[in-house]
Amino acid sequence: MDKYDIIVRPIITERSMAEARKKRYTFEVAKTANKYQIKDAVQDIFKVQVVKVNTMNMKGKLKRQGATKGYRPNWKKAIVTLTADSNEIKFFDS
């Protein structure tokens, strides 16, 4: 699996941006990726040093439209903690 296939997208929320100040970043990752693959992909793509990776499987939400209902697909989330002396990951140009 390619490192760009492992990291699907960053999760940009108010809570995740607050955690980014503590060098903890949240990503949506491939469901088949393990912690070692996620760590290697983040280190290669963003040129940072990773200390810890926490993963969780997220259940798809129930969505309704009238009488019809269905579920969004399940997905996997990873919270990546960087070393104290590592560079920050910049999602936005400022």
Q: Report if pTM > 0.85.
A: yes
Please name which of 35, 69, 68, 31 lies closest in space to residue 53, comparing C-alpha atoms: 35
| C-beta separation of 49 from 87 below 8 A | no
In this predicted model, what pLDDT tens digit does every residue of 73-91 receive, in sequence order? 999 999 999 999 999 999 8
pLDDT band at 45 (very low <50, low <70, confident <90, very high): very high
